[in-house]
Amino acid sequence: VGKDGSGRPAPRGAFLTEAGREGAFYGRRRGKGLRQGQAKRLDEALGQWRIESGSDPLPDPVTLFPHRPAQVYLEIGFGGGEHLATLAAAHPDIGFIGCEPFVNGMAKLLGLVEERDLGNVRLWDQDATMLVARLPKASIDRIYLLYPDPWPKRRQRKRRFVSDERLGALAGILKPGGELRFATDIDDYAGWTLARALRSADFAWTAQGQADWRAWDGWPGSRYEAKARREGRGSAYLVFRREP
Ligand SMILES: C[S@@+](CC[C@H](N)C(=O)[O-])C[C@H]1O[C@@H](n2cnc3c(N)ncnc32)[C@H](O)[C@@H]1O
């Protein structure tokens, strides 16, 4: 089995969305140590936090939360959910939607959500592109895409989450002035994303100087950021503003 650079086994085939077309998820749905029975229990436990699957357009996402937050943030591919849980606990006034099809990651975040009783979190356990397609235009204040799977081999790059088409879809759901926050420890993926965002009329890169893309002040970090540091890699932190 080959490696994609993120330490995960290479997938055996493209994931098909409910609509039957090829989606953006190429990773594993389930890792070691999660048996069928546990996956079933997780499925049940997701209950009150899950956004129901389907292809129907969703209502304004503020209505997904009991407190109708003034702002809604979306995190795509939250991994173990450390970043999302920390932010959600620190900002109870903001609604957080987390997407992660990897069942073990979802189980981890669900543990944190239950332990901290985070009523301001909603979860989507499938390919994020399916959710993005259902969200209303200009309904999200901020999107996080942190350390997405790098797919470093040339022939695999088309599997990267960032593409012109997908940036267009993300721009569509962001409010004018909203932000797309992207982090990676793979230089080539930073350049890839920058090139696509800069040629999009929808986004402006907010960095004024080096300090603005070398780190984000006060951010809690993520598991893959810690892994990059352990392995001696720095990262790029890119913020793109949705142009009106
Ligand atoms: C390299 S991990 C990074 C996890 C986390 N963001 C971090 O920084 O620690 C990338 C994650 O993105 C998820 N992912 C990949 N494609 C996705 C998609 N189309 N929709 C949602 N999540 C996706 C994977 O399952 C994986 O957990």
Tens digit of each residue's pLDDT (9 = 90 or more) over 185-201: 999 999 999 999 999 99
Best substitution site from 3, 127, 151, 189 to test ligand 1's pocket, by max atoms within 8 Å of Cβ? 127
The model's pLDDT over 206-237, given as tens digits with 9 standing for 90+, comes to: 999 998 999 888 899 999 999 999 999 999 99
Q: How far is the CA of 13 from the centre of ligand 1 (A)?
A: 17
Cα separation, 55 vs 71, whole angstroms: 24
Q: Which of 28, 23, 26 is nearest to 151 (CA)?
A: 26
Q: What mean pLDDT comes out for the span 22-39?
A: 74
Q: Which residue in 125, 141, 149, 185 is the catalytic one?
A: 149
Average pLDDT over the chain reads 88
Q: How far is the CA of 212 from the centre of ligand 1 (A)?
A: 24
Best substitution site from 18, 22, 76 to test ligand 1's pocket, by max atoms within 8 Å of Cβ? 76
Cα separation, 96 vs 13, whole angstroms: 31
pLDDT category of residue 4 using cuts at 50, 70 and 90: very low
Is the Cβ–Cβ distance between 133 and 169 less than 8 Å?
A: yes
Best substitution site from 83, 99, 149, 229 to test ligand 1's pocket, by max atoms within 8 Å of Cβ? 149
Residue 190: half-sphere exposure toward Cβ, Cα within 13 Å = 13
The model's pLDDT over 146-166, given as tens digits with 9 standing for 90+, comes to: 999 999 999 999 999 999 999
User: By percentage, how much of the chain surpasses pLDDT 90?
Assistant: 72
- Name all residues whose Cβ lies below 6 A of ligand 1: 6, 24-25, 27, 76-79, 99-102, 105, 127-129, 146-149, 161, 222-225
Backbone CA torsion sign across 71, 120, 99, 236: positive
Alpha helices in 128-185 (DSSP H): 128-134, 164-173
Instruction: Give the atom of ligand 1 at the shortest distance from the alpha carbon of 227.
Output: 9
Instruction: Give the atom of ligand 1 at the shortest distance from the alpha carbon of 23.
Output: 19
Is the Cβ–Cβ distance between 143 and 169 less than 8 Å?
A: no
pLDDT for res 22 = 58
Residue nearest atom 11 of ligand 1, based on CA coordinates: 77
User: By percentage, how much of the chain surpasses pLDDT 70?
Assistant: 89
Is 16 a residue whose pLDDT tops 90? no
Instruction: Give the atom of ligand 1 at the shortest distance from the alpha carbon of 99.
Output: 21
Q: Which of 158, 224, 219, 143 is nearest to 185 (CA)?
A: 224
149 catalytically annotated: yes
Q: What mean pLDDT comes out for the span 91-118?
A: 94
